[in-house]
Amino acid sequence: MKKQYVTLNLENINRVPVLQHRTFHRKSLWRSWRQLSRLQKNLLVTLSCSIIFVIFYWVIFNSQRRLDDVKSDKHINEPDETGQKVQADVDETFQEVPEIDSKVVVDKLFVEESLNEKPIQIDETHKARPFIPILKSPETITVRQRAVINAVKHAWTGYKKYAWGHDHLRPISLRYQDWFHLGMTIVDSLDTLYIMNLTKEFAEARGWVENSFTFDHYNDDVNLFEVTIRILGGLLSAYHFSNDGLFLEKAADLGERLLPCFDKSPTAIPFSDVNLVSHTARVPRWSSDSSIAEVSTLQLEFRDLSRCTREDKFEKAAFAVSEHIHKLRKPDGLVPIFINPNTGNFNFDSEIKLGARGDSYYEYLLKQWIQTGKTVDFLKEDYIEAIDGIMRTLTKTTPKRKLTFIGELKSKSRTFSPKMDHLTCYLPGTLALGVYNGMPNKHMTFAEQLMETCYYMYKDQPTGLAPEIVYFNYELDKGGVDMYVQSQDTHNLLRPEFIESLWAMYSITGNKTYQEWGWEIFQAFEKYTKVANGYTCINNVLDPENTKPRDFMESYFMSETLKYLYLLFSPNRRLIDIDKLVMNSEAHPLPIYSY
């Protein structure tokens, strides 16, 4: 009988026919699974479920992010008024912003919010109308605007490298300075970065505000006025531009911490200093009085905060100051620079002037009236009376060049002093804004005369930069010098006031002379105040060879000076719509309301 053999060879699994190969593995896997312990089986099942969940979540999350990007903040890319596009170098920052047919530019960096954020609930009837800035595409930014953008980026780079999170940069010693420990330069610059479409820098600033900005770490007094115009105003403006609830949340928190200045005072006049941690408030250490400009330059910001949050306590507290001052006796509509919060009365022994501690009282009379839709009559009446008083009592003209200037009334004696602060150069822009909104035409003539004087405050100096204070010889014959600078006043602090007026006058009149003046001043800043890691105040505008740098860059340099220069050089002179927006004293645009 012939023997039969059956052979099973497992040496090379790849030689097994396909069907047999799959059957073999299926049995092996099942056998391996059967051999696992219960714990091992549970672990494998849990791991498999986790992987499936992560894949599913990733698909859903990215779909939602793409949808959010479409819904994110939009910039209107309006064509040049002249129809011409000025060629300029396009850097990587602007290449991020595409130009599309609908002229709407979407940038998710401006509205990206935390998934866990709980924004303040805002009633629609009180919600501020978020405005959308009219931003130029890279092709329509002028060469001069490009130069200003480069200045902002230069200043920002130095600040970020050597002073990040602190109030101010010391660009020469490569150090920082803290005034209130609030990252002042960052918050003050938010809307400047936004308006100039510096998306990377704006995202950096927004990230710091979200992760590092707090009011709980500095247990000492801060100044109500400075924190309001720079920090509160900066947060509110950034909120309106970006519609990002983070900024409103921070603004509301800050507003609550500033209220003790009003609540602790026995009168409507707030205390000047407040501790944001302990919520205590008091008069300044050096005086029992508050500055009239400081207590009367809070209303735009506090009113806007109330309209955004539907918490009327902010507006009520700040507006009570204006109502109180309105009822006080004001000869010729003019106010002394000090007022006592304990009595609520002016210190009539103090000076009357439009420079330091007096200036923005007059500015906010007009701007409050505009902000409230021109509905508060006493603000308009007090403003007109004050301007008439300034023209009648404080204004003189030099005999040689016929320079119109605004002097001061000295304390107690009320004798006239031909001293004019650079700060006073904000007034021409305010006057022009008033005329645009229906004030007497003679105010525009006055504004044009003051503009010429302020221009010569720059033009007459060897550096082309204005000193802090000038004096006028208004009683000399025509052969005398009509303007001079005293040795203690030769410093330049990178101030914005005349640039502000240049922008306002150009915005309202379209006179391009104001653009040329601004370009001259910008070039002087570049030549004499720019250093390797930022810009610095200087001590001597009279000596181009020895300007004596102060090693200090103010937060308002980016917030105001460079912002106004950028707006001034725009071919669209209404890049900021003055029918919808009003600038606060720190150049932060806020909405105009109808009531």
Nearest to 151 by CA among 589, 525, 540: 525
Rounded Cα gap, residues 195 and 132, in angstroms: 10
Q: How many CB atoms lie within 10 A of CB 337?
A: 24
Residue 509: which H helix or E strand, with range? helix 497-509
* Contact yes or no for 298/318 (Cβ under 8 A): yes
Write the DSSP string, 270-333.
Answer: PPSEEETTT--EE--TT-S-EEHHHHTS-HHHHHHHHHHHT-THHHHHHHHHHHHHHHS--GGG
For 100, counting Cβ atoms within 10 Å of its Cβ (0-12 exposed, 13-18 middle, 19+ buried), the class is exposed
Catalytic residue among 167, 188, 191, 226: 226
Q: Which two tokens stand for residue 224?
A: 């109500």
Q: Which two tokens stand for residue 455?
A: 């221009």
Which neighbouring-strand residues pair with 282?
273
Rounded Cα gap, residues 181 and 399, in angstroms: 49
Rounded Cα gap, residues 143 and 172, in angstroms: 28
Helices 377-389 and 359-371: crossing angle in degrees, nearest 10, is: 150
Kindly give, in sequence order, each residue whose CB lies less than 8 Å from that of residue 494, ignoring residues fewer than 6 positions away.
525, 529, 535, 536, 537, 553, 554, 556, 557, 561
Largest CA distance in the chain: 149
**Element counts in the chain: helices (H) and strands (E):** 21, 20
The DSSP secondary-structure symbol of 579 reads: T
Which neighbouring-strand residues pair with 209?
none
Annotated active-site residue 226? The verdict is yes
Annotated active-site residue 96? The verdict is no
Q: Which two tokens stand for residue 580?
A: 């919808």
Which neighbouring-strand residues pair with 583?
589
Annotated active-site residue 497? The verdict is yes
* Contact yes or no for 540/546 (Cβ under 8 A): yes
Residue 457 CA: distances (Å) to CA of 167, 306, 451, 506: 29, 40, 10, 19
Strand, helix or coil for residue 258:
helix
Catalytic residue among 167, 289, 301, 359: 359
Q: Which two tokens stand for residue 94?
A: 């602007």
Catalytic residue among 301, 497, 554, 560: 497
Kindly give, in sequence order, each residue whose CB lies less than 8 Å from that of residue 215, ignoring residues fewer than 6 positions away.
182, 253, 254, 257, 276, 277
Rounded Cα gap, residues 505 and 510, in angstroms: 7
- In the chain, the amino acid numbered 470 is V
Write the DSSP string, 175-229.
Answer: EEE-SSSS-HHHHHHHHHHHHTT-HHHHHHHHHHHHHT--SSS--SEEEHHHIII
Catalytic residues: 226, 359, 468, 497
